[in-house]
Amino acid sequence: MLTKSGFKRQRTADYLPIIEEQARDLYGEDADLSDRTPVGKMIHLQAQQRAEDNEQLEMVYNARFVDTSEGATLEANVKRVITRKRWIKANGEVIVNLDKGAKINIGDLFRTKYNVYFKALEAIDAVEDGNYRVDVEALEYGAIGNVEPGDISIIVNPQSGINSVTNPDAFLNGQDEETDEELQDRYYDSLGKVGTRRVESIEANVLDDVEGVRAAIAIENDTNVEDSEGRPAHSFETVVLGGLDEDVAMAIFRKKGGGIRAYGSTVYTFTDNRGIVHEIGFTRATTISVYVKVYIKKGNQFPLNGDDLVIGQVVKYIGGTYDGVLHHGVGMSKDVVCTKAEARVLSIDGVEDVRIEFSTDDITYTPSNVSIAFPEVAETDESKIEVMNLV
């Protein structure tokens, strides 16, 4: 039953007196309506059926609301703000030590000591003794595939010439499917005025959904009057590095919420399917080029392609493009720290010692951190990195 307070579900006990009264009007006041008689049994069956139908109507009514819907209906209710996180397999790189002539085939298995299995996604033919990087993927979906550095250490069905395996970096991209309760909580966290949760949601959406974006940060302006630059209350500014203007603007629009202005020096205008014109602003970040000299002491296990591995680790830490892959690196307004870059290089087999020097002008190099202000992002590439022997 629908009332001004919402839907009130009617049960069998609610329907019995109603149907019994209808039966007395039809058969007379002295009719025997006990459940021992055919008429009484029919009345009870009808009351039960009406109660079951009412239960279904209650479910239909509740399906309109986020906190009382479930499954596909819940997903439809929240889709204008967020979408359910789905199952994702963890993946990453392992380093396999191979003798000359040994092979890694697609589908070869490696595992952790606690029996989480990973399969090779590429084939490797060892042309020399040494370490080779192999892309792998967890066999199972979900966060079970998220492992710490060094956890993958066992070769399943070992073959001659395959000596060892390890993962130098943690795998963090495995994901369990979000439950209804988790989806509801995340939805409510993302609602309201811009706020911390919405700002985080905008940042994540730009970083995760826009191709080519290396860094993004959203800054809330929560004053009640316009600021010195004319920004209204309940506005925010997103600072972005990379990505096409249209893609960045639409990613911001999907998360910003109605009545909230997306401010910035770059403005993208579009008209929605209702004919309403929207102006989505954001600001482009400034890149700070970082030049790097890496001095290393090489041991007997240092691989033939070790210099390339060193360059790759430095780019992955600082951020930039290496071997055609874009790496986020330290991110927006984060300093580039010598010891953290050196730790990355020391993870490579055969590196016995390392010293790193940075420069922002390719003239003066020092073994000290690079300070990155706002809104700046550190960036490097293989042309800006030199690997030398440590004397």
pLDDT at 6: 63
**Of 62, 82, 101, which residue is a domain's last?**
62
Residue 177 covered by a domain: no
pLDDT at 351: 92
Q: Alpha carbon of 110 to those of 132, 166, 269: distances in Å? A: 14, 9, 50
Residues forming a β-bridge with 73: none
pLDDT at 9: 80
pLDDT at 223: 47
Residue 180 covered by a domain: no
pLDDT band at 231 (very low <50, low <70, confident <90, very high): very low
Number of domains the chain contains: 4
Quick one: 249 and 203 in the same domain? Answer: yes
- Rg of the chain over all Cα atoms, to the nearest angstrom: 31
Tokens of 186: 């995340």
Residue 67 covered by a domain: no
Quick one: 357 and 294 in the same domain? Answer: yes
| Least trusted range by pLDDT, from 34-48, 98-112, 141-155, 353-367 | 34-48
Average the pLDDT over 212-238 and give the result: 67
The residue range of the domain holding 309 is 287-389
Order of strands across the sheet that contains 325-327: 286-289, 376-381, 320-322, 325-327
pLDDT at 2: 65
| Least trusted range by pLDDT, from 7-16, 38-47, 153-162, 223-232 | 223-232
Tokens of 347: 């993870």
Quick one: 356 and 271 in the same domain? Answer: no
Contacts of 316 (CB under 8 A, 6+ apart): 322, 327, 329, 344
Q: What rounded mean pLDDT belongs to the chain?
A: 86
pLDDT band at 194 (very low <50, low <70, confident <90, very high): very low
Quick one: 274 and 337 in the same domain? Answer: no
Place of tokens 């889709």: 79
Q: What is the tens place of the pLDDT at every residue in 338-351? A: 999 999 999 898 99
pLDDT at 191: 59
Given a cut of 50, whether residue 192 has pLDDT beyond it is no
